[in-house]
Structure 1
């Protein structure tokens, strides 16, 4: 009988749940079951999956045991042990439904804010504070901020100082969103991306109701979850920035682009040869940063033009004499050489056009080189 997935809803990205689940399954540590329960508690909605897992035996019942249960319970099947159950759940993760936000309630359907001051900006900052609070409650800040324990009088790091050393602004912890200006808010978004780290193990310290203690931290899964939650918050608030998921500017706020351009950035970052990858990363970071300027956009274009210049023979072979048109713009306009006879009276949108054209051409040459090697 196949595992019944109808009662489970996934709130993590499928790929992240699979990678963390496979890691737990590879573990031979005696605490692997605790890690599995913690993963199921975090990644799936409610406690149903974790409860089903804990109800299973550590090992399958012997086939000749007359008392062995053959009746599957919620989400399980007869004869399965914990490891087999988790293995099937992970292997079929693509079949799990994703948790959906509740349908809008009356004030939202009427286009009314639930805040008392009517400030969308303040609402967004308060929502961000709640996101950080949830991460803190689940131990995602314990690696950098420490955790209190009734049995350990060790003085914890000063969380405000930890943030101040990175951002240069004092007294930001505990978070007080009503006091932030825009730069502080965006700065905190980037700082916490670098601070969060997922605890893969936790234990409950019952003495004097001390609470959960977390360990075995890893920042990769935490940052994926963090980017997902924060980028959704920014998107819903109509803020046209997002946290970069790759590149030199990983974890920094960058301008939102359409899906096609996002795909182009991904391909250029991942398919470039090692000798140009650093320059491609740098050009993209210069162009899409929140604090980008006309000069940084020019520098990004010049960087890409340099790569194409190195590949001019390849372009000439494929395009013939038309390859010269690719470099004429960079040479005749105020981009590369900055000569007096060059044109400089153009709109900044021109820089956007030439950047994406050049980046697309770099990606084209990547594919031409790859096909030449393969052939």
Structure 2
């Protein structure tokens, strides 16, 4: 009998749930069950999955006891449970079939929202987005994702906790930002906090409940990688819903910084250029991409990004000429004749900034093409 997944909804990105689940399954000590329970609590909506997991025996009954001779014994497994399965088997199947899990969806808009009256008291979408962001941070804090940098109170530990406002101020240069007061933020502060908390969050993979005087949960074994993936997912979704044309970069020199949104094809090109390039040029490509797509990018920084890519192509000019013949010269004629690289008086500078976008993506695509040509030559 296969595991029934119909009652489970995934709140995390599938790949993150799989990677953290596989790590839990590799855990050899006795705490793996607590880690698995915490993972299911975080990653899946509601408590159904946790209840089903806890209902499964820690070891298959047939490994430790003989079958019952009672003909009236109940043999039908409960929800999410199947006969002869232990908790390790149960979680293994759930992880292996994670692609089948439905993702938890926001409820369909209610009447006030459909009538355009569900944003905020002052009708400001921007302020509402900032409050939603503050709620995201509150959720991360409640789950212990800020405990590594902000510390946690404990009735048995009188040590003074770090000043959270000072932690943020040292990074952002703005005092008194904790606790969060979204109504007081201007746009620069809001976007700055989005980037700061990306660097601060860290997922606790274990937790224990301190019952003395109802002290509460204490978290440990922190890792920032999973936390940042989850944080980018939630914040980028918020930015998308608010119509803000930025997202947190998932890779590159500007990892965790707000960058201009591109279409899926260009995002895929950036990913290939960053991950498939030779180590000798990867740093330069990272720098060029960061210069071009930053939220505060300028025409001058876009020119610098293009010049960086043109330098890489210049080094591969012999390869391009061999593959393209005399047509390879067209690549460099644009960079040389327009006000991009040499910046001479006779160069043309009267062009729209959209030209910079076009030439950047053309050059980055050509760098990726040369990567493929080099790989083909090596393979042959």
- Interval containing the TM-score (normalised by the shorter chain): over 0.9
Provide the C-alpha distance between the structure 2 equivalents of 1:62 and 1:249, rounded to a whole number of angstroms: 54
Provide the C-alpha distance between the structure 1 equivalents of 2:298 and 2:266, rounded to a whole number of angstroms: 20
Question: Structure 1 residues 328-337 or 57-66, which shifts more?
Answer: 57-66
Q: What are the ranges of 5 or more consecutive residues in structure 2 without an aligned counterpart? A: none
Q: Secondary structure at the match of 1:62?
A: helix
In the alignment, which of 343, 368, 377 is matched to residue 372 of structure 1?
377
In the alignment, which of 331, 340, 361 is matched to residue 356 of structure 1?
361
Partner of 1:138: 143
Deviations 1:237-260 (A, max 9, x none): 111110000000000000011111
Structure 1 residue 114: Cα displacement: 3.3
Partner of 1:46: 46
Deviations 1:149-203 (A, max 9, x none): 0011011000000000000000000001111110000000000000000000000
Partner of 1:117: 122
How well do the aligned residues superpose, as a CA RMSD in angstroms? Answer: 1.0
Question: Structure 1 residues 54-63 or 3-12, which shifts more?
Answer: 54-63
Provide the C-alpha distance between the structure 1 equivalents of 2:333 and 2:197, rounded to a whole number of angstroms: 44
The answer as to 2:346 corresponding to 1:341 is yes
Provide the C-alpha distance between the structure 2 equivalents of 1:70 and 1:352, rounded to a whole number of angstroms: 66
Task: Name the TM-score, length of structure 1 as normaliser.
Answer: 0.98
Q: Decide whether the 8 Å contact of 2:119 with 2:125 is kept in 1.
A: no
Q: Decide whether the 8 Å contact of 2:130 with 2:190 is kept in 1.
A: yes
Partner of 2:236: 231
Q: Decide whether the 8 Å contact of 2:247 with 2:259 is kept in 1.
A: yes
Deviations 1:214-245 (A, max 9, x none): 00000011001100110011111111110000
Question: Mapping of 1:225-304 within 5 angstroms?
Answer: 225-304=230-309
The answer as to 2:91 corresponding to 1:61 is no
Provide the C-alpha distance between the structure 2 equivalents of 1:242 and 1:3, rounded to a whole number of angstroms: 37
Provide the C-alpha distance between the structure 2 equivalents of 1:124 and 1:95, rounded to a whole number of angstroms: 31
Deviations 1:246-277 (A, max 9, x none): 00000000001111111111111111111100
Task: Name the TM-score, length of structure 2 as normaliser.
Answer: 0.97
Provide the C-alpha distance between the structure 1 equivalents of 2:174 and 2:300, rounded to a whole number of angstroms: 28
Partner of 1:207: 212
Number of residue pairs the alignment of both structures matches: 375
Q: Decide whether the 8 Å contact of 1:200 with 1:215 is kept in 2.
A: yes
Deviations 1:90-143 (A, max 9, x none): 111111111111111112222333311011110000000000000000000000
Partner of 1:14: 14
Q: Secondary structure at the match of 2:176?
A: coil
Question: Structure 1 residues 60-69 or 293-302, which shifts more?
Answer: 60-69
Question: Mapping of 1:156-195 within 5 angstroms?
Answer: 156-195=161-200
Q: Decide whether the 8 Å contact of 1:194 with 1:223 is kept in 2.
A: yes
Provide the C-alpha distance between the structure 2 equivalents of 1:78 and 1:69, rounded to a whole number of angstroms: 11
Structure 1 residue 23: Cα displacement: 0.4
Structure 1 residue 62: Cα displacement: 2.1
Q: Secondary structure at the match of 1:199?
A: strand
The answer as to 2:26 corresponding to 1:26 is yes
The answer as to 2:330 corresponding to 1:321 is no
Q: What are the ranges of 5 or more consecutive residues in structure 1 without an aligned counterpart? A: none
Provide the C-alpha distance between the structure 1 equivalents of 2:366 and 2:57, rounded to a whole number of angstroms: 58
Q: Secondary structure at the match of 2:220?
A: strand
Structure 1 residue 29: Cα displacement: 1.4
Deviations 1:3-47 (A, max 9, x none): 111111111111111110010000011111000000000000101
Q: Decide whether the 8 Å contact of 1:150 with 1:210 is kept in 2.
A: yes
Provide the C-alpha distance between the structure 1 equivalents of 2:99 and 2:119, rounded to a whole number of angstroms: 35
Structure 1 residue 69: Cα displacement: 6.0
Q: Secondary structure at the match of 2:62?
A: coil
Q: Decide whether the 8 Å contact of 2:273 with 2:367 is kept in 1.
A: yes
